[in-house]
Structures are given as structure tokens and as C-alpha cells.
Amino acid sequence: MRLKNISLSYGMRVFKALSEEPRVRILHLLIQNKELSISDLEHILDFTQTKTSRHLSYLKNSGLVGSKKIDQWTFYYLLEETSEIIQQILKFIQKDNRLIKDQEIYEILHSNRELAKNKIQDNKYGL
């Protein structure tokens, strides 16, 4: 679903959500990587669990982010209907060094996970 028009109050919620750097960084990571766990975000952003949770709660209450629980993990994602407006806004700052560094850290984290997963699988099958 795509937003065609937004109300003034919804627009204000979006801009308030974007008024703090940690939330912008979280949104940028969610746009780039579709969904992330709170643990992923803590490691990438070097935030405490409390700080990460607080900002995710704000984004969720603003109607920008959704979550789903799988076993003991909660994964966060950008709501489909807000994706276009957030992408358009963040397009202007996508070359920011901090945002680029966050994505580089994510890619290292993801790569290390894939290597570990393959190693476990190889050991499981005696390869």
C-alpha cells in the first residue's frame, strides 16, 4: 500500500520521528536491509539495549516501523506504506559518512553470520 496524501498530524509525526539522529540511522538501516533485530541494531549503532528500544518504540508509535517476533527475537521493519516517504526524505542524506559506516558495519556483521552458518552446516554434514 502506498500513501497518496498524508494529513498534517501524520506529517508532523514523521518529522518528529526524524528529528533525532539515532532514529534516522535506524530508519536508514531498515531501508537498506529490510529488517533487523534489536541486537543487530545495538551492535551496528553501538547503543545500549535501552536506548535502542526507546528509539524503536518511538518509531513504532509514530507509525513508521512494525515488528514481528520469531522465537525469542523481535525483528523490526519499515512499514510498507511509509517506505516511499522515508526513502524520499533520506535520499538527500544517503552519502552521509555516519550512515555509510553503519551500513558497512551491518555488512561485516552479516558476512560473519553467513560464515558461521556455513561452518556449522559443514561440521554438521562432516565436510
Q: What is the CATH number of the domain that holds 32?
A: 1.10.10.10
> Which candidate, 28, 22, 20, places its Cα nearest to that of 47?
22
Instruction: Establish if 1 belongs to a structural domain.
Output: no
Q: What is the pLDDT of residue 116?
A: 65
How far, in Å, are 7, 8, 40, 49, 64 from residue 35 at the CA level?
27, 28, 10, 17, 13
How many domains is the chain built from? 1
Domain enclosing residue 25, as ranges = 8-124
Instruction: Establish if 30 belongs to a structural domain.
Output: yes
The pTM of this model reads 0.84
Instruction: Establish if 3 belongs to a structural domain.
Output: no
**pLDDT tens digits, one per residue of 13-53:** 889 999 999 999 999 999 999 999 999 999 999 999 999 99
**pLDDT tens digits, one per residue of 72-122:** 989 999 999 888 889 988 999 989 999 999 999 999 988 887 766 666 666
Instruction: Establish if 86 belongs to a structural domain.
Output: yes
Instruction: Establish if 2 belongs to a structural domain.
Output: no
